[in-house]
């Protein structure tokens, strides 16, 4: 009966509107067969790729901007992008990139070496007129870049402090996007965030906050104009509303389908389910700068009190697996299923009593109120954790915020504990371990290390792992680093999720990248 009802809903495919916060609104004109509508649970936070790291913002900017190099659409393998080729010298410390000739930004200005230097220096130099303190990635992931210089109109050279194994992969990531200097100068930082200008296959049209972002085909794209005429990212917070809109044809693609409804999608004759193992981790972080979580005994007790199995079974419905550490299964340096803190509430309670834990106090657990690729129902998980910790006398007050406010609060260290996660940007363990657990990323205001863990031994291992290209050496460093993390217990690693999206059957060419981003340049509608 349920499947029959889905088929009935699907029979209305072809309607040209969806219901949003602003009511009925036209987004696809009659007869327009190449406007693709994507439904997502949350809006973008901003559209400057150097300033944002949430999935919603990144996916949109990756359609608009390009980098010197890029990932293939469905893997972390590197291929040329705005640079056609490059040379490496001085033991990996000097990189020379040769740019494509004839590429233009969406505002008509030419891509050249000056634009590349501008895009890097605005993040590198604090005295740059377009510097912003929220370029947080630059001062961690890209901190070893010493200088960038123009050699001629289509050639740039990057000098880095020392050999750095993930360097090329990092250049394929969103913060290294090449922006239009003329647009930045004309609009300013705030204006550019709302009207971005890149060289990518789609150009920006409009952003109606809380409703949609609209992109259109870049007919002059150097790689050949996309088949889609228009790409619309709609905000539909309710997962069942997204599924209903997909079934009715008001959407072509829907993200974050509830785990318990994935089977309906897979059985539906008019829908298609795409899924990949998630290159991600969901975790509970304890703020190691806030008493009593500055005490490793307390952190270990919290780890022993969390029963992960029911969390994963309830929240992921067979589409996730228990996490034993920061790295996803199969990644270089993964320790495997090493269970450092088996579920043992009796021992956890005894450990708290041994350090005279104050059972009368309440602590703040911060949680986002929108589903993430790594955490389908954050509020549900927060309530389970609150109940489990209450069993050993730890009392939590849940603080729910939208994703933008959640990131702001946790990066500033306002929380005692928080739920967060990470989807890998480039397939390298450095992007997990260094970004999420190094002291360099524990700076309040821009922290990715929201446990604010600071351990010099760990920092040293992570630095050594960056400087060798010998895979087994790197793997060994990361295994040792994870042993330190396990002893320090700043997290309760929770789960690695499978990532799935749903499309209508006439949507062709969709491929999920391991980062969970979909690159829409080769997608079309078979209508």
pLDDT in tens, 13-65: 333 333 333 333 445 554 467 999 999 999 999 999 999 989 999 999 999 99
SS (HEC) of 22-40: CEEEECCCCCCCCEEEEEE
Fold classified for 280-498 = Dipeptide-binding Protein; domain 3 (3.10.105)
Parallel, antiparallel, or unpaired: how do β-strands 417-423 and 280-286 relate?
A: antiparallel
- Other CB atoms closer than 10 Å to residue 494's CB: what's the count? 25
Q: Write down the pTM of the prediction.
A: 0.85
* CB neighbourhood size of 12 (10 A): 11
Predicted pLDDT at 20:
36
Q: Please tell me the predicted confidence (pLDDT) of residue 1.
A: 31
Q: Which residues partner with 481 through β-bridges?
A: none
Break the chain into its structural domains and give their ranges: 2-64+200-252+506-525, 69-181, 280-498
| Each residue's pLDDT tens digit, 282-317 | 999 999 999 999 999 999 999 999 999 999 998 998
Alpha helices in 164-275 (DSSP H): 167-171, 181-194, 239-248, 262-267
Q: What is the pLDDT of residue 332?
A: 93
Query: Do 179 and 191 touch, CB atoms closer than 8 A?
Result: no
Given a cut of 70, whether residue 508 has pLDDT beyond it is yes
Residue whose tokens read 């004109």: 29
H or E stretch covering 368: strand 362-368
pLDDT the model gives residue 32: 66
Cβ contacts of residue 279 below 8 Å, gap of 6+? 328, 331, 423, 424, 427, 514, 515, 516
Segment 337-387, tens digit of pLDDT: 999 999 999 999 999 999 999 999 999 999 999 999 899 999 999 999 999
List, for residues 387-422, the tens digit of each pLDDT value. Answer: 999 999 999 999 999 999 999 999 999 999 999 999
* Residue 386 burial (10 A CB sphere; 0-12, 13-18, 19+): middle
220-249 mean pLDDT: 96
pLDDT computed for residue 137 by the predictor: 82
pLDDT tens-place string over residues 105-114: 999 999 999 9
Q: Which CATH number fits domain 2-64+200-252+506-525: 3.40.50.300, 3.90.950.10, 3.10.450.50, 3.40.190.10?
A: 3.40.190.10
Mean of the per-residue pLDDT values of the chain = 92
Structure tokens at 349: 């309670």
Coil, helix or strand at residue 430: helix
Spatial separation of the C-alpha atoms in residues 75 and 55, rounded to whole Å: 17
Q: Answer whether 274's CB lies under 8 Å from 36's CB.
A: no
Domain 69-181 fold is Dipeptide-binding Protein; domain 1 (3.90.76)
């Amino acid at each position: 009966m349920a499947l029959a009802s889905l088929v009935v809903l699907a029979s209305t495919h072809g309607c040209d509107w969806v219901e949003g916060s602003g009511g009925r609104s036209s987004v696809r004109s009659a007869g327009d067969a190449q406007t693709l509508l994507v439904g997502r649970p949350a809006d973008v936070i901003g559209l400057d790729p150097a300033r944002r790291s949430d999935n919603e913002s990144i996916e949109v900017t990756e359609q608009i901007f390009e980098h010197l190099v890029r990932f293939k659409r469905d893997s972390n393998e590197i291929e040329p992008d705005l640079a056609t080729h490059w040379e490496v010298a001085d033991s990996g410390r000097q990189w020379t990139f040769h740019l494509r000739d004839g590429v233009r930004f969406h505002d008509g200005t030419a891509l050249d070496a000056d634009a590349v230097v501008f895009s890097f220096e605005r993040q590198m130099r604090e005295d740059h007129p377009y510097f912003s303190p929220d370029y947080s990635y630059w001062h961690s992931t890209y901190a070893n870049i010493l200088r960038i210089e123009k050699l001629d109109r289509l050639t740039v050279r990057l000098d880095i402090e020392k050999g750095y194994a993930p360097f090329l992969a990092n250049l394929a990531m969103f913060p290294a996007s090449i922006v239009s200097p003329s647009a930045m100068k004309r609009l300013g930082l705030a204006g550019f965030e709302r009207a971005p200008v890149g060289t990518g296959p789609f150009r920006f049209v409009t952003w109606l906050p809380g409703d949609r972002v609209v992109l259109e085909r870049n007919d002059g794209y150097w790689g050949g104009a996309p088949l889609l005429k228009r790409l619309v990212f709609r905000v539909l917070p309710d997962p069942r509303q997204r599924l209903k809109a997909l079934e009715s044809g008001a959407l072509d693609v829907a993200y974050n389908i509830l785990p318990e409804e994935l089977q309906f999608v897979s059985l539906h004759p008019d829908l298609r389910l795409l899924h990949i193992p998630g290159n991600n981790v969901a975790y509970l972080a304890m703020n190691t700068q806030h008493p009593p979580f500055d005490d490793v005994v307390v952190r270990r007790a919290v780890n022993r009190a969390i029963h992960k199995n029911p969390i994963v079974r309830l929240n992921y419905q067979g589409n996730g697996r228990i996490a034993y550490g920061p790295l996803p299964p199969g990644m270089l340096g993964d320790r495997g299923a090493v269970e450092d803190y088996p579920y043992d509430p009796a021992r956890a309670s005894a450990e708290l009593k041994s350090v005279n834990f104050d059972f009368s106090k309440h602590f703040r657990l911060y949680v986002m109120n929108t589903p993430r690729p790594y955490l389908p129902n954050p509020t549900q998980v927060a309530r389970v954790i609150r109940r489990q910790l209450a069993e050993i006398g730890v009392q939590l007050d849940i603080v729910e915020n939208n994703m933008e406010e959640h990131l702001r609060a946790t990066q500033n260290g306002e929380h005692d504990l928080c739920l967060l996660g990470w989807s890998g940007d480039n397939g390298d363990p450095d992007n997990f371990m260094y970004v999420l657990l190094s002291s360099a990323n524990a700076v309040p205001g821009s922290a990715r290390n929201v446990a604010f863990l600071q351990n010099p031994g760990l920092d040293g291992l992570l630095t050594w792992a960056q400087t060798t290209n010998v895979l087994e050496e790197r793997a060994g460093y990361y295994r040792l680093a994870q042993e330190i993390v396990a002893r320090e217990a700043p997290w309760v690693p929770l789960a690695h999720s499978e990532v799935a999206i749903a499309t209508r059957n006439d949507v062709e060419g969709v491929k999920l990248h391991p980062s969970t981003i979909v690159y829409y340049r080769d997608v079309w509608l078979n209508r």
